[in-house]
A = this chain, B = another copy of it.
Amino acid sequence: MLTNRQLQILQVIVDDFVTSAQPVGSRQISKKEGITFSPATIRNEMADLEELGFLEKTHTSSGRVPSEKGYRFYVDHLLQPQIITNGEVEQIHSIFERQMLETEQVIRESANILSELTTYTTILLGPDVQKHKVKKFQIVPLTGQTAVAIIVTDNGHVENRLLTLPPGFSPSDIEKMVNILNERLTGVSLHEFHLKLETEALAVLKQHVHAAEAVIESLLSVNNQQSEGKVYYGGKTNMLNQPEFHDLNKVRMLMDLMEKESQVQSLFAPGKSGVQIRIGSENNHLAMENCSVITASFLLGNEQQGSIAIIGPTRMDYQRVVTLLEVMSQGLSRVFMKNNDGL
């Protein structure tokens, strides 16, 4: 168990290092407000804290730097809700008040504002498209052999896919097919929709429409690699300002990582609920060894769920980010509760 004094010192060190990015020395700590004991005492305590694994040195005669364990402890026990200025809260709320119908735009703006306020990078994950319910299915023929299949979901998302039609597939075939599918599959989730296309629906279709298999196959062929929720970025280049990313190699790894949507999905998916913090190696990814990710999820109407992630260096202003994230995610949830349109 840590003594009060140790807690106090750990807190000061983290707070100081977060803003200065420089190892913190005993003298410097002693001058901080609320510190009543001498540098020598602090040195002793720091030695203990280091032994316990909360602090590290960059070299034998440097000041101390929080270790991952140190950050973890700080985040778990020392985090105090921080006051953010009214101006900032207003800035966030202003997005919601501008009555923009398009969810997508709200999301984009949110990502931008968050990265502006935090100076870190924001990733916004839309809800898992696969969970949306199918509202309407449609096929629009283009030429003799090609057509577009369109699926509209209950919250306004539109999926579309090009099809090749088998030779001799007539407009009335299309109509029959569309009718059957709408009749049977409206209201199921996109995920189920695709499943049932291959099984039940296909069986029925075969009886009524010639060459239905070919169309269904064409319809399914592209699906696998695609989607889950959409990904939006804010302040992608912000990390270039952080001193820890003066190393081009790290920058490259991170950038590459962010290009791969599938990886982003898994890395930045929110934990259960509320605000979650993953520090450095807790992210289980080489490129993220010096990064922390703070995620929060928000609701989009009926059980849909999106999430916001802020990526910064492990030396990150956790307090501030957590507070901002809470304000933002609550705001988003509220907005999407009202006009339940989704994205």
Contact = CB atoms under 8 A, between A and B. Distances in A.
Interface of A: 101-103, 105, 135-136, 138, 140, 142-143, 146, 148, 150, 152, 154-156, 158, 160-164, 218, 221-222, 236-237, 240-241, 246, 248, 251-252, 255-256, 259, 339-341
B154 A158 contact: no
A255 B235 CA distance: 10
B164 A152 contact: no
B158 A158 contact: yes
Nearest to A239: B252
A138 B138 CA distance: 10
Contacts of A251: 240, 248, 251
B101 A221 contact: yes
Contacts of A142: 135, 152, 154-156, 341
Identical subunits present:
2
A236 B255 contact: yes
Contacts of A156: 142, 146, 148, 160, 162
Nearest to A259: B236
A115 to B, nearest CB: 11
A79 to B, nearest CB: 31
A54 to B, nearest CB: 32
9 contacts: A101-B164, A102-B222, A140-B152, A142-B341, A146-B341, A148-B152, A150-B150, A156-B162, A158-B158
A289 B150 CA distance: 44
Nearest to A235: B259
A142 B341 CA distance: 9
A152 B150 contact: yes
Nearest to A233: B259
A162 B248 contact: no
